[in-house]
Amino acid sequence: MYEIRQIIQRLRLGESNRAVARSQGVGRDTVAQLRNLAASQNWLDATGPMPDDATIALHYRSTGKGATEGPIKNPSHVSTVEPFREDVLAWHRQGIQVSSIRQALARQHGYDGSVHALYRFIRREAPDAPVATVMLDFAVGEQAQVDFGSGPLITDRHSDEVFKTWFFVMTLAWSRHQYAELVRNQSVETWLACHRHAFEWFNGVPRKVRIDNPKCAITRACYYEPTVQRAYGELALGYTFVIDPCPVADPAKKGRVEAGVKYVKRNFMPLREFHSLAHANEQLQTWVRDEAGNRIHGSTRERPLKRFNETEQALLQPLPAIAPACPTWAKAKLHGNCHVQHEYCQYSAPFRLIHQTLWLEITPDALRIYQEHELVAIHPRLFKRGDHSTVQDHLPPHAQAYFMRDPQWCLAQAMTIGPACLAVVESLFANRVLDHLRAAQGLLRLGDQFGRGRLDAACSRALNFGTPSYRTIKQILNTGLDQQPELIESPALDAPYLDGGRFSRSPNDSLH
């Protein structure tokens, strides 16, 4: 509008179109169009009043000239997308991406224009409605905002391991002082540990902590009633702060930590070398304390660390006298082998709870298993994948009996029954091909059925005949042969066999 007024003012002074165009740096056609408009509205009379901006804009736009590109440029170029206007605008309203629209035009109409032409057309014909925001104010010590951001790729100098990292950032909403830490994952344990480290860094706790909706904190995101992860809820109770999740897909509600994450990524990460995670965190904390904390903040125009030390730190809630344990919780089903699985390690629970879903309370040194609120098992924490912790009492009776009645137990029991029984059990365990543990256990159970004396006698008879097996001894007991006297000599043969058979011959007879 300033340029239009300058052109009209020069025309009112009687300058030619060529002179005005040269001095203003515009085309003579543009000056001619403005001269015609000014003449039709009687603006060229130097003795009359100069029209105001609103009047000029109203009449200039009503001519259909320069409404989008401005009065000076007034381009006559027609977009290559114009022949497909209706289709493009309809697809854009459906939320289809511009790149997909360009591919559809090329496929259906042979369109060879660029995707940037589509962007310019859509921006001109269907501009986005402006979004108004509200500046939020927070009381001193009222709120901290928390977020994760992608961190650098670190190569460990000692192990040559290359791993991805994440920034955890907590920013105090009033002073803008922050805590930052590089971590390897976004697990529940990491989330809780970072909160504890941040509170210890500030030496205090804000009354509210505003978060996004990560799985490590919110198990079910909802605008009205989100479900908080159990371990994070216990952490909030232990440190006496209130969890304040943002609405779903609306991270702008925690804009101060969003800006803090960008600041860390743009000002700390570039041009630095990290030899390990510990080395990176050492540099990060030094940078937060010395550089980030002492910069002039763009909004407050003060140093965040100075505002924190002089005002906000004293108004934070004090740390608890004893830090909360902060266990993590998980649900797991008890499998048919009487074990639950957590992080590829297995822990036993009572067999009566098979196929039920149980709660696992995980701490750095122990894992506790609960059925609802009842503690049913405690195990030391395992970390090597594939390891298992088994309590024999958790197994079903037949399994307990099998594991308890090991070879040493069988030998001790056989010794109390008798020497023959002990000799049979030892011969069973001496077999190098087949495991006879169940045979030995079954043999000893025969003593409960037939009595220890009969069992030892049956074992003696089996040894005498050279068949010390479970099946033979059980058959002896069933038939009562253990109660008959043992035969020391072979029985006499009948006379026909002593005299020789019909076809018998002497060993000395020639084969010929």
Question: What CATH number is given to the structural domain containing 300?
Answer: 3.30.420.10
Tell me, yes or no, whether 352 lies in a domain: yes
Tell me, yes or no, whether 100 lies in a domain: yes
What's the gap between Cα 275 and its chain centre?
Answer: 25
- State whether 148 and 279 are in the same domain: yes
- State whether 248 and 208 are in the same domain: yes
- State whether 245 and 307 are in the same domain: yes
- State whether 288 and 344 are in the same domain: no
- State whether 9 and 157 are in the same domain: no
In which domain, by residue range, is 40 found? 2-62
Tell me, yes or no, whether 164 lies in a domain: yes
- State whether 234 and 170 are in the same domain: yes
Residue 221 in tokens: 């995101």
Reference 465, options 481, 449, 453, 479; nearest CA is 481
pLDDT on residue 401? 64
The residue assigned the tokens 């297995």 is 346
pLDDT on residue 192? 94
- State whether 159 and 246 are in the same domain: yes
pLDDT on residue 505? 59
Q: What distance in Å separates the CA atoms of residue 463 and residue 455, rounded to the nearest whole number?
A: 12
* Whether the Cβ atoms of residue 190 and residue 226 lie closer than 8 Å to each other: no
| DSSP β-ladder status, 357-362 and 345-348 | unpaired
Q: Chunk the chain into consecutive blocks of 10 residues (it has 512) and report each block's average pLDDT, rounded to whole numbers.
A: 87 89 87 89 85 82 46 59 92 90 92 90 85 84 95 92 96 96 94 96 96 92 90 94 91 89 93 93 95 93 96 96 87 94 94 94 92 93 93 82 74 90 90 83 89 91 89 91 66 50 56 49
Reference 232, options 144, 117, 125, 328; nearest CA is 328
For the chain, how many structural domains are there in total? 5
Tell me, yes or no, whether 71 lies in a domain: no
Give strand pairing partners of 183.
166
Tell me, yes or no, whether 506 lies in a domain: no
- State whether 50 and 103 are in the same domain: no
- State whether 305 and 211 are in the same domain: yes
- State whether 157 and 271 are in the same domain: yes
User: End of a domain among 395, 426, 442?
Assistant: 395
- State whether 387 and 243 are in the same domain: no
Burial 121-131 (b: 16+ CB within 10 A, else e): bbeeeeeeeee
User: End of a domain among 315, 338, 363?
Assistant: 315
Q: What is the pTM of this model?
A: 0.63
- State whether 169 and 268 are in the same domain: yes
Tell me, yes or no, whether 74 lies in a domain: no
Tell me, yes or no, whether 502 lies in a domain: no
pLDDT on residue 73? 44
Tell me, yes or no, whether 135 lies in a domain: no
Q: What distance in Å separates the CA atoms of residue 192 and residue 187, rounded to the nearest whole number?
A: 9
Name, in order, each residue with C-beta under 8 angstroms of 93's C-beta and a sequence gap of 6 or more: 126
